[in-house]
Amino acid sequence: MRKISVVLGAIALGVGAWALASATGREANGIANTYEVNDSHFHLTNYVQEGTDIHDFLKIMGTKVGRVALFGIPLQQQWSYGDTGDFAPTYYLQSDSPLYYYSFTDAFIANAYKSLSPADRARFDPMITGFNPTDMYAADHIRRVLTTYPGVFEGIGEFTIHKEFVAAKIAGEKASLTNRALDRLLDFAGEVGLVALMHNDIDAPFPKPGHEPYQIEQLRALFLRHQKTRIIWAHIGLGRVVRPVTDQIAMIDRALSDPALNNVCVDISWTETAKYIVSTPETIAATADVINRHPERFLFGTDEVAPKDQNGYLAIYQMYEPLFAKLTPTASEQLRKGNYVRLFDEARHKVRAWEQAHVTNVTEGTR
């Protein structure tokens, strides 16, 4: 009788979780159809782990933004008295002191998410960021977070490999695209079904003229090694001073046309990316053309950090209006909303299934 009870309990648990996932899926789809845009790239907290209260952020999202990929920042800016004295830096460019990995960010995001009502939770897709991508134990950290907070997370990132000014400030070993630790964590993400949102510059901040960017070939090799992992390449590799490389639009077009890279999508988040895309009528037209040819591969994101109001939060959305005007209706819908829903609903389903198989108390924290 005890064995029968255990089996029946397991069946009931599985059916209950399936029903809950189906209900939340329908609710999330309803959200996606109601609002103007979804945000694939948002930091609730800043480089000193301070930010916007999640309940206030819901008000900032308002009637404009339906769903948001939610994460903190995995790096903490050290406040060194010998460097800045009584001035407390809150941004990585305000101090020469190092950055270090801050794993508690994942618990903070999970607890903020769990403080919401079930209806409000359906508008967020939390991500795990508090790991060191040079550490072979990074994959174990991700597993530990999933089993500690079942029903919460759906992806990893944004995490950084090469980033102008940031990579050089991080204490310890420098991340690279060829590190086996990165392969191990992306393998695990693929096993679980987690979306992986990765920042990697397409070139050095101040490249040698005529020099072929080594990151391009390394990125392609990494993507090919992890075809079972859904990867979002943040900002198309651009940055504050990292400019588009020669023939970048054609390069992106070739990559997205390659069936072997169907696992890779691109986000156009960050105002520093938008400044290049909308700089001239020619850059707008060229970007719109590649998005229209690959409408299922691009996502809109803000990359805002701890915003205080909706105008600041959606400044990049307004910057992109000339680009949106050049897109086909299908491409515009996919970029702004549809691709987000497809990728994160798929992740939600797969991660919940993995949790069913690996976590004892799988109903805790579920939507």
Q: What predicted TM-score, i.e. pTM, was given to this entire model?
A: 0.89
Helix axes 248-257, 281-293, angle to 10 degrees: 0
d(CA 256, CA 233): 12
Q: Which helix (H) or strand (E) holds 267?
A: strand 264-267
Whether 202 maps to a domain, the answer reads: yes
d(CA 60, CA 212): 43
The whole-number pLDDT of residue 31 equals 61
d(CA 171, CA 183): 21
The whole-number pLDDT of residue 80 equals 95
The whole-number pLDDT of residue 203 equals 81
Q: What is the CATH number of the domain that holds 242?
A: 3.20.20.140
* Blockwise average pLDDT, block size 10, the chain, 367 residues: 40 41 53 86 96 98 98 96 95 93 97 98 98 98 98 98 90 96 98 98 77 86 98 94 85 95 97 96 96 98 97 98 98 98 98 93 53
The whole-number pLDDT of residue 214 equals 81
Boundaries of domain holding 294: 2-358
Q: Which amino acid is at 301?
A: G
Number of domains in the chain: 1
Whether 367 maps to a domain, the answer reads: no
Whether 363 maps to a domain, the answer reads: no
